[in-house]
Amino acid sequence: MTPAQEALVDRLRSLLADEPVLREVSMFGGRSFVVNEKLAVSALKSGGLLVRVGADQHTELLTRPGAQQATMGADREMGPGWIEVDAAAIDSDEGLAVWLDVAMEHNRAAG
């Protein structure tokens, strides 16, 4: 793991510590957090965050600072519901918590 990724993983572990069903899995080139058997977020090598969101919120969430359409590999876009957030946008605890709240809202609604 890169130092930026490792720091983000530690922050995510702390914020997700109270979730009853939590697993960490290596995928998407990062360290993913699976809550209730559904991927919620992934800490990327860049220190950025891959966030699983509701497809109906996708377009609105892309207007937020640091948010962009997630890609996989050589600029292959992931579908609606996958957003990558730049490391600078989640540098503060508040910035990270906002995106984690969005991911967890979707995670719980996805049943």
Q: Which amino acid is at 101?
A: D
Per-residue model confidence as pLDDT tens digits over 69-94: 998 877 788 889 999 999 999 999 99
Report the distance separating Cα 44 and Cα 47, nearest Å: 5
- Structure token digits, residue 2: 């890169």
Give the domain ranges of the chain: 3-104
> Is pLDDT above 70 for 67?
yes
| pTM for the structure as a whole | 0.93
C-alpha closest to that of 22 among 7, 6, 39, 10: 39
Query: What confidence category does residue 111 fall into, taking pLDDT thresholds of 50, 70 and 90?
Result: low
User: In degrees rounded to 5, what are phi and psi of residue 57?
Assistant: -100, -10
Instruction: Give the DSSP per-residue string, 25-46.
Output: EEETTEEEEEETTEEEEEEETT
The CATH number of 3-104 is: 3.90.1150.30
* % residues pLDDT > 70 (the chain): 99
* Higher per-residue confidence, 33 vs 110: 33
pLDDT recorded at residue 96: 97
